[in-house]
């Protein structure tokens, strides 16, 4: 059965999303997040029995991690390592263990399409804990690099985002990139779950493997989207 995940610890209504989720990725200081928000999200995940993981990013709070930064391989390794370790330390104090790593924003997209960045991320994750699951854009360079390194991976798709014919996500700056209608998001989620593929922005149907589906807490109508998606996937 396909699982639902969300990115949390970013100042949204995480508690209302939790009942619908199997996995959360917690902002850990790069684009958002501080000690209080990390501990709060970890406690919520534990309360609801949801797997918790790190959500590292470019260290860019001004742009919320949504603009690429010039970075060396060493920079990428350091950023992913430092942010994930910070969250892991908070988790350990609560008697919890991180289960996965999922990148945020621009770093997520760059690692999906650039092999050198993908390998840097994988290097950091494997050195931290080879038991961590790597969550990445379905069929991407990051997924390939993770598999090559022997990591467990989850191919991620999005219930609330539109796709291009090359499998990339439509830029948030493009009109129609976000799916804010709960019924439309639910239809897209169900299509992923059935293996039917997804209708791209141009109308073509694109086959995409989906092990886990992301719901964004900062998407308008996020809670209604979560309710609709959960209902259509698990009503029977």
Q: What is the three-class DSSP state of 231? A: helix
DSSP E strands in the chain: the ranges are: 3-8, 23-27, 51-55, 100-102, 133-137, 153-158, 198-199, 205-206, 212-216
- The DSSP string of 157-172 is EESSB-B-TTSPBPPT
Instruction: Read off the tokens for 63.
Output: 């742009």
Q: Given pLDDT bands bounded at 50, 70 and 90, which one contains residue 197?
A: confident
In this structure, how many other beta carbons lie within 10 angstroms of the beta carbon of residue 85? 17
**To the nearest 10°, the Cα dihedral for 66, 67, 70, 72?**
20
**Of the listed ranges 110-119, 137-146, 152-161, 167-176, the one predicted with least confidence:** 167-176
Task: State how far the Cα of 202 lies from the Cα of 199, in Å rounded to an integer.
Answer: 8
Looking at residue 19, what DSSP letter applies?
G
Strands 205-206 and 23-27, sheet pairing: unpaired
Nearest to 98 by CA among 87, 83, 112, 108: 87
Query: Does residue 6 register a pLDDT over 50?
Result: yes
CATH of domain 3-160+210-217: 3.20.20.370
Tell me if 150 sits within 8 A of 127, measured CB to CB. Answer: no
Q: For tokens 């209080």, name the residue.
A: 36
Domain layout of the chain by residue ranges: 3-160+210-217
Tell me if 151 sits within 8 A of 130, measured CB to CB. Answer: yes
Task: State how far the Cα of 58 lies from the Cα of 120, in Å rounded to an integer.
Answer: 13
Over residues 36-46, the mean pLDDT reads 98
Task: State how far the Cα of 107 lies from the Cα of 200, in Å rounded to an integer.
Answer: 23
Please give the distance of CA 111 from its chain centroid, rounded to a whole number.
13
Query: Does residue 236 register a pLDDT over 80?
Result: no
Q: What is the three-class DSSP state of 154? A: strand
Residue-wise pLDDT tens digits, 62-116: 999 999 999 999 999 999 999 999 999 999 999 999 999 999 999 999 999 999 9
């Amino acid at each position: 059965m396909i699982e639902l995940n969300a990115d949390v610890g970013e100042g949204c209504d995480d508690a209302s999303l939790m009942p619908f989720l199997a996995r959360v990725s917690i902002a850990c200081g790069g684009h958002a997040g501080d000690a209080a928000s990390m501990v709060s999200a970890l406690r919520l995940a534990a309360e609801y029995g949801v797997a918790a993981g790190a959500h590292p990013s470019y260290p860019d709070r001004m742009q919320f991690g949504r603009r690429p930064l010039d970075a060396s391989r060493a920079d990428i390794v350091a950023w992913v390592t430092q942010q994930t370790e910070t969250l892991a330390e908070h988790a350990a104090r609560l008697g919890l263990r991180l289960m996965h790593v999922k990148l945020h924003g621009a770093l997520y997209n760059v690692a999906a399409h650039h092999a050198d960045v993908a390998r840097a991320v994988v290097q950091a994750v494997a050195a931290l804990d080879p038991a961590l699951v790597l969550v990445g854009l379905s069929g991407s360079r990051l997924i390939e690099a993770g598999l090559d390194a022997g990591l467990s991976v989850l191919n991620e798709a999005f219930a609330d985002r539109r796709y291009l014919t090359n499998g990339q996500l439509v830029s948030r700056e493009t009109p129609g990139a976000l799916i804010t209608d709960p019924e439309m998001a639910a239809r897209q989620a169900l299509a992923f779950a059935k293996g039917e593929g997804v209708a791209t922005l141009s109308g073509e149907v694109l086959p995409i493997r989906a092990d886990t589906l992301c719901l964004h807490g900062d998407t308008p109508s996020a809670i209604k989207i979560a309710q609709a998606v959960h209902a259509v996937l698990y009503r029977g």
